[in-house]
Amino acid sequence: MNIQNNNNYLITVTGPTAIGKTAMAIEIAKYYNCPIISADSRQFFKEMNIGTAVPSKEEQEAAKHYFIQNISIFDDYTVGDFEREAITVLDELFKKNNVVVMVGGSGLYIDAVLKGFDDFPDIDNSVREQLKEKYETLGITYLQEELERLDPEHYSNVAKENPQRLMRALEVCSGSGKPYSSFLNIKKNSRNFTSIIIGLEAEREVMYSRINQRVDLMVQAGLIEEAKALYPHKNLNALQTVGYRELFSYFDDEYSLDFAIEEIKKNTRRFAKRQMTWFKRKEETKWFNFTTSPHIVINYIKENL
């Protein structure tokens, strides 16, 4: 528990994809009659629904949600933008409620709200252009090897299959002459709330089984049709994500449909593993098995308010 303000409390529900975060967050929000802020960067986009597991209409009616399908895939939206907007919304919400729930699996976005976005130096655009050219000609392996060489500390934590994250880190390394990790956590922004973090987890085999089942349900719900509608825009940053990228390869005749679906499952399992690595580093998180009754979690929260 991170104590900043004894009057306002931000209850954050984290954990890997498909673990049941939304359902738990809604139960907590219903108990405290408070709203929910989503910190799932994939659910921000109004054009994406099935593949990002956006909360259903019934779930959104059960508790007021913010930052669900609030921007377009065509918008340029950064974690810094999210931090500024989320803090502004929280300031307003805390005028009416002394408890707000935040839920999501995007660790970087959660950290931005809880402790502030790290202050990086301005880098000349030419550095990023050069990195893009290297990526296009040499592939993602080049980015991975360069980051491991220039900043092994950040390399050990970064999402290694995400070229945007790799290029952003390399951009700072190359442009500043300092490791990306050296700019992290330098300044602590003040927050007008006390943070309580709840983590949901499961045995790896159970977690992977839930992911496989969710992907099958997404396909049944129309994921292929959703991806087909987005296919003309496949090069946008917002669509460089699991569940869409694999189907774009199917539409390009690079994958069979069955193989694309298996790739979605495999890459989602890898994503969940990276999420757990990120969240497990936070010693202040109180972990519960995903089957834990919400009232047990709420009792823990009550004891710490």
**pLDDT higher at 283 or 224:** 224
What was the pLDDT predicted at 117? 66
Q: What is the pLDDT of residues 244-261, one digit of tens each?
A: 999 999 999 999 999 999
**Across all residues in the chain, what is the average pLDDT?**
92
Whether residue 169 lies inside any domain: the answer is: yes
Say yes or no: 288 and 159 in one domain.
no
Say yes or no: 29 and 137 in one domain.
no
Domain of residue 228, residue span:
9-117+189-304
Task: Write down which residue in 135, 168, 183 finishes a domain.
Answer: 183
pLDDT band at 67 (very low <50, low <70, confident <90, very high): very high
What was the pLDDT predicted at 187? 60
Mean local confidence (pLDDT), 163-187: 85
CATH number of the domain to which 150 belongs: 1.10.20.140
Half-sphere exposure for 266 (CA within 13 Å, toward CB): 9
CATH number of the domain to which 253 belongs: 3.40.50.300
Say yes or no: 219 and 136 in one domain.
no
How many folded domains does the chain comprise?
Answer: 2
Say yes or no: 156 and 300 in one domain.
no
Whether residue 83 lies inside any domain: the answer is: yes
Whether residue 2 lies inside any domain: the answer is: no
Residue positions forming the annotated binding site for ATP: 15-22
Residue positions forming the annotated binding site for substrate: 17-22
- Dist CA 185 CA 156 (whole Å): 17
Say yes or no: 177 and 259 in one domain.
no
pLDDT more than 90, % of the chain: 75
pLDDT more than 70, % of the chain: 95
Highest-confidence segment of 114-123, 180-189, 200-209: 200-209
Q: What is the pLDDT of residues 22-41, one digit of tens each?
A: 999 999 999 999 999 999 99
Say yes or no: 193 and 67 in one domain.
yes
pLDDT band at 7 (very low <50, low <70, confident <90, very high): confident
Please give the model's pTM, rounded to 2 decimal places: 0.80
pLDDT band at 83 (very low <50, low <70, confident <90, very high): very high
Half-sphere exposure for 278 (CA within 13 Å, toward CB): 24
- Dist CA 295 CA 27 (whole Å): 8
Residue positions forming the annotated binding site: 15-22
- Say yes or no to pLDDT of 3 above 50: no
What was the pLDDT predicted at 121? 73
- Dist CA 50 CA 217 (whole Å): 9
